[in-house]
Each structure stands twice: as C-alpha cells, then as structure tokens.
C-alpha cells in the first residue's frame, strides 16, 4: 500500500471574472503519494461537494501532458517544480507530509480569470488563427517521399511543433510575453517546405495579433524556457525575430 500524506492547500478562489479573489485554506488528508496533483484536487473537491460547498474550478482534459489545459501556478512556479511536465504529470510523491502548497491561476492581462484556477487562454487560439491557412495541393495522397526534407530540419520543426499551448511561458514571464508560444508556431511551419507559401504573411500576422492581444514584449529573461513542459527553446524566439525581419524588410508581401 502506498504512503499517504496530509498537505495544507492555499487555493485561489474567485467566483467570477469580476469578483474579488482570495487564497482559501484547505486540508487534504490521507493523500496517496501515487496520486497525481489533479487527483489530489479531485479528492478535495469530493469532500467539498459532500459538505455542500462549491468545488474548486480547474481545467483539465487529457491528464497526460498533451492538451495544455491544466496549467496553474504551484508554489509560484508554472506547472510546479518538477521540470519537463505539466500539472497533470506532477505527482504527490514530490511533496512532503505537512507541506503547504499554494495554488494560483496563471496571472496575465491577456488571460482573464474565468473562475478560481480557470483562465481564458483563447488569446493564444487567436494568435494561431491569425496565422491563417497552409496551402496544400488537394487530390490523391502524395507519395511519401515526394517532398524531401533534411533530417535536421524535420527534427527542428518537430521540436517546435511540440508546443501544447498551455500558456506557462506567458505566466512565468515578468512581461507576460507570448513570444515563446508564437515563435514555436512560426518556426514549426517556416522550416518546412509546406509552410513556405504563406511564410511571410503568417509571421507578420501572428506577431501583430500577439501584440494586439496585450501580451508583453520579450526581454530575454529565459523564464519561459525554464517552465515550458515541452522543452521549447528560446532559440525559436530568435528565429521568429529573423522571420519577422525577413518578412517585413527583405521579402514583404
Ligand atoms: S511554448 Fe511551452 S510553455 Fe509556452 S505554450 Fe507552448 S508548451 Fe506551453
Ligand atoms: S490535462 Fe492535458 S496537459 Fe494536463
């Protein structure tokens, strides 16, 4: 049988977007150290529901580090202190018996709080949408080797494509910049032959949308890379800046 611990929670509770919020204390008892962090919150919510209280609102979907919906600040760190993972991949064995854990939502002007730990991250969706479509030839399926792509380019593009849109990079940045997220999307397509047709238009529109959504400027702090659960490198930001320069100065249109 797995060991159990008791943890003291300080959870941000906020009834709605305009309601005042505050940290509320909870005691989570007999928590198996094999549980994930979200399962621990499920147990707390079961108790709250049984006693007629409002459960803590938090987002989750895949619970395996794929969808990007579960992000919260755990003890002041986006996704918690375990590097390379999302909150749903964080386990209670990382915490000690009697520990106090503070849980807060992402804090960024572009991520308004919906309720408790849930924030509206649709600004990231609008940045992606601003990038527009990718032209493809429709018709019969192309032969798999018809478009040769160098191995290193394919690897770099796939590394960038790993971004799950969780928003931790924004939450960790003192400027609430979405540069890491946007640059991952820009880089992914800019490296591949399939992304060349709209390459210039895409980067300009995505950067403009990023600014319009109120995200801050990147000042090379590196906090985004440190908390990114998918290991997206800030080299993507340098690539995005080069792409933007190429699109707006060298090859506009
Ligand atoms: S770059 Fe990393 S931290 Fe930012 S949204 Fe993508 S996966 Fe999340
Ligand atoms: S619930 Fe999908 S990444 Fe955590």
Q: Is 69 in the pocket of ligand 2 (CB under 6 A)?
A: yes
Task: Look at residue 140 in the predicted model and tell me its pLDDT.
Answer: 83
DSSP codes joined into one string, 137-203: --SSPPPTTSS---HHHHHHHHHHHT-----HHHHH-TT-B-HHHHHHHHHHHHSSGGGSTTHHHHH
- pLDDT of the residue at 92: 97
Q: Whose CA is nearest to atom 3 of ligand 2?
A: 65
Of all atoms in ligand 2, which is nearest to the CA of residue 68? 3
Residue 176 φ/ψ, nearest 5 degrees: 50, 45
> What radius of gyration do the chain's Cα atoms show?
21
- Residue ID of nearest Cα to ligand 1 atom 5: 165
Q: What b-and-e string marks burial along 50-59, b requiring 16 or more CB atoms within 10 Å of the CB?
A: eeeeeebbbb
For tokens 């108790």, name the residue.
Answer: 47
pLDDT tens for each residue of the chain, 253 residues long: 579 999 999 999 999 999 999 999 999 999 999 999 999 999 999 999 999 999 999 999 999 999 999 999 999 999 999 989 999 999 999 999 999 999 999 999 999 999 999 999 999 999 999 999 888 777 887 787 888 899 999 999 999 999 999 999 999 999 999 999 999 999 999 999 989 999 999 999 999 999 999 999 999 999 999 999 999 999 999 999 999 999 998 766 5
pLDDT, position 252: 61
What is the per-residue pLDDT for 143?
81
Q: Give pTM, 2 decimals.
A: 0.94
CB 118 within 8 A of CB 13: no
Cβ(60) – ligand 2 distance below 6 Å = yes
Q: What is the 3-state secondary structure (H, E, C) of 62-130?
A: CCCCCCCCCCCEECCEECCCCCCCCHHHCEHHHCCCCCEEEEECCCCCCCCEEECCEECCHHHHHHHHH
Say if ligand 2 is within 6 A of residue 229 CB. no
Residue 164 is predicted with a pLDDT of 98
Q: What is the pLDDT of residue 122?
A: 98
Residue 43 CA to residue 95 CA, distance in Å, equals 16
Q: Verify whether ligand 1 is closer than 6 Å to residue 179 (CB atom).
A: no
Q: Is 39 in the pocket of ligand 2 (CB under 6 A)?
A: no
CB of 180 shorter than 6 A to ligand 1: yes
Beta bridge partners of 10: 25, 102
What is the number of the ligand closest to the CA of 67? 2
Pairwise CA distance, residues 198 & 102, whole Å: 44
Distance between CA 248 and CA 253 in Å, rounded? 8
């Amino acid at each position: 049988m797995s060991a159990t611990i008791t943890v003291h929670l300080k959870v941000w509770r906020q009834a709605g977007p305009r309601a005042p919020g505050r940290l509320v204390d909870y005691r989570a008892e007999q928590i198996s150290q094999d549980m994930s962090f979200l399962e621990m919150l499920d147990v707390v919510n079961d108790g709250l529901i049984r006693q007629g209280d409002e459960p803590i609102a938090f987002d989750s979907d895949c619970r395996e580090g794929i969808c990007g919906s579960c992000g919260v600040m755990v003890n002041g760190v986006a996704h918690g202190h375990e590097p390379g993972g999302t909150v749903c991949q964080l386990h209670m064995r990382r915490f000690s018996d009697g520990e106090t854990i503070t849980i807060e939502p992402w804090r960024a002007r572009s991520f308004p709080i919906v309720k408790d730990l849930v924030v509206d991250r649709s600004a990231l969706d609008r940045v992606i949408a601003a990038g527009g479509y990718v032209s493809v030839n429709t018709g019969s399926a192309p032969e798999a080797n018809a478009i040769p792509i160098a191995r290193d380019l394919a690897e770099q593009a796939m590394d960038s494509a790993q971004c799950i849109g969780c928003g931790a990079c924004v939450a960790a940045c003192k400027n609430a910049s979405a540069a890491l997220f946007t640059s991952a999307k820009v880089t992914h397509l800019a490296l591949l032959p399939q992304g060349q047709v709209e390459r210039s238009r895409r980067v300009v529109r995505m950067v403009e949308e990023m600014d319009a959504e109120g995200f801050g400027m990147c000042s090379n702090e590196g906090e985004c890379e440190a908390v990114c659960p998918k290991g997206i490198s800030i080299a993507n930001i340098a690539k995005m800046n080069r792409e933007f320069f190429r699109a707006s100065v060298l090859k506009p249109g």
